[in-house]
């Protein structure tokens, strides 16, 4: 019979240095949210808005008359159709994945970004070291679950950051929700939230949980957590890669800064 423990020890450490130290964290080649370059937009062009399957890109009346693009990354399923439809490369593929934000408005592209809001920072101080998460699948495609499960593989090893998934909502600090919230999961989701002790936080993981995603508007789905539960961190993505989930969790704990404001990555 193989000596599994010895084999495991001989394998050595397989865990990524990131986020404790610099490194690409296994995300090489990953294509994230499309990046918007308004200066390249063609006059009156609507190609990206017409290509977008989830109305993340829409035409809105501009202040000085005419129309302007509104880009809501909270609705983006990262399908890249806009980057292919755009004739002038105003929408380009990028590696921008660290899209966890505290305010929903920060997912909407803005010319000039507001300064960060750190109003909640103090309240969370007590949880800076450790966090227990109750995950609820409210009708996802299982893509988000697949990469949430990856967080506990040896490469990401979430435990080393003091973050744990827990079975009981009674032990949980954070409710992590995936999926567009189907009619049948609405009551179980609310019951789970009600069972959590205060203080409690909610994170919407994946574009479905943020805004409904591709299933939004059907007979069985709502608009994600919108109007269902108060959300503390929004993380769009389809699905968000494991590093993005870790970044958003550490951001909730004030151990990492929010990197996106006004729909743009800022350093």
Partner 1 sequence: MTLSSDMQLLPEQLGDAASRLRDRGGRMQMVYAWYPEPDRLELRYVVTEPHQHAFGVWICKPQGAVPSLAGIWPLMSWYEREVTDLFGVDFHDHPQPQRLVLHEGVSPVRPPFDPNYPPGATLAAEPVKQTIPEIAGAQADVQLLPFGPVRADVVESAEFVFFYIGEAILHYQPRLFFKHRGMEKRFEGLPADRAVILAERVSGVGSVAHALAYCQAAEAAANCTVPPRALFLRVLLAELERLYNHLHYFGHLCHTTTLKVGEAEGKLLEERAKQLNSRLTGSRFLRNLLTAGGLRRDLSPEGWLGDELEKLRQDFSTYARRMENTGSHLDRLITTGKLGRDVAFDQGATGPVDRASGLDRDLRRDHPYAAYGQLPLSVAVRKDGDAHARAQVRMAETETSIALMQSALSLLPDGPVRADFAVRPRSEGLGWAESPRGTLFYAVHFDSGGKLARVKIKSPSFSNWRVFPYTVHETNMMDYAINEASFGLTIAGCDR
Query: Footprint of partner 1 on residues 79-118 (CB under 8 A)?
Result: 79-81, 84, 93
73: nearest Cα among 54, 89, 92: 54
Cβ neighbours of residue 43 under 8 Å, at least 6 residues apart? none
Judged by CB under 8 A, the residue of 42, 188, 197, 257 near partner 1 is: 188
Cβ neighbours of residue 226 under 8 Å, at least 6 residues apart? 211, 212
In the 8-state DSSP scheme, what is residue 113? P
Task: Please list every residue from 212 through 241 that binds partner 1, using CB under 8 A.
Answer: 213-215, 217-222, 238-239, 241
Task: Count the neighbouring beta carbons within 10 Å of the beta carbon of residue 37.
Answer: 12
* Closer CB to partner 1, 8 or 126, in the complex: 8
Residue 250 CB, nearest approach to partner 1 (Å): 18
Task: Report phi then psi at 54, rounded to 5.
Answer: -120, 20
185 contacts partner 1 (rule: CB under 8 A): yes
Task: Please list every residue from 57 through 76 that binds partner 1, using CB under 8 A.
Answer: none
Residue 110 CB, nearest approach to partner 1 (Å): 26
Q: Is the peptide bond before 19 cis (omega within 30 degrees of 0)?
A: yes
* Closer CB to partner 1, 138 or 231, in the complex: 138
Task: Please list every residue from 7 through 26 that binds partner 1, using CB under 8 A.
Answer: 7-8, 11, 14, 26
Tell me how many residues contact partner 1 (CB under 8 A): 72
* Closer CB to partner 1, 140 or 264, in the complex: 140
Do the Cβ atoms of 195 and 223 come closer than 8 Å? no
Token pair for 147: 């990469």
Judged by CB under 8 A, the residue of 19, 31, 41, 45 near partner 1 is: 31
Do the Cβ atoms of 113 and 264 come closer than 8 Å? yes
* Closer CB to partner 1, 5 or 89, in the complex: 5
* Closer CB to partner 1, 100 or 239, in the complex: 239
Q: What is the dihedral of CA 185, 190, 194, 195, to 10 degrees?
A: 0
Do the Cβ atoms of 221 and 183 come closer than 8 Å? yes
Q: Print the binding letters for residues 247-266 with partner 1: x by CB under 8 A, - otherwise.
A: --------------------
Residue 204 CB, nearest approach to partner 1 (Å): 16
């Amino acid at each position: 019979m193989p000596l599994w423990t010895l084999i495991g020890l001989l394998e050595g450490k397989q865990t990524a240095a990131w986020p404790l130290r610099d490194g690409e964290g296994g995300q090489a080649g990953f294509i994230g949210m499309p990046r918007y370059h308004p200066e390249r937009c063609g006059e009156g062009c609507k190609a990206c808005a017409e290509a977008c399957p989830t109305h993340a890109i829409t035409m809105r009346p501009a202040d000085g008359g005419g129309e302007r693009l509104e880009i809501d990354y909270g609705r983006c399923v990262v399908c890249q159709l806009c980057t292919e439809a755009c004739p002038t490369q105003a929408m380009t593929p990028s590696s921008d994945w660290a899209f966890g934000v505290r305010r929903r408005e920060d997912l909407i592209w803005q010319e000039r970004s507001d300064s960060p809001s750190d109003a909640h920072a103090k309240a969370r101080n007590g949880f800076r070291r450790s966090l227990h998460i109750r995950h609820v699948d409210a009708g996802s495609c299982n893509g988000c679950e697949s990469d949430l499960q990856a967080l506990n593989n040896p490469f990401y090893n979430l435990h080393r950051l003091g973050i744990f998934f827990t079975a009981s909502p009674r032990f949980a600090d954070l409710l992590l929700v995936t999926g567009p919230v189907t009619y049948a999961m609405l009551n179980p989701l609310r019951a789970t939230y009600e069972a959590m002790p205060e203080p409690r936080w909610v994170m919407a993981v994946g574009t479905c949980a943020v805004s409904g995603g591709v299933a939004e508007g059907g007979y069985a789905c709502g608009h994600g957590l919108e109007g269902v539960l108060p959300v503390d961190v929004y993380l769009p993505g389809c699905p968000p890669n494991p590093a993005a989930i870790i970044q958003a969790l550490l951001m909730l704990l004030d151990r990492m800064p929010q990197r996106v404001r006004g729909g743009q990555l800022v350093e």
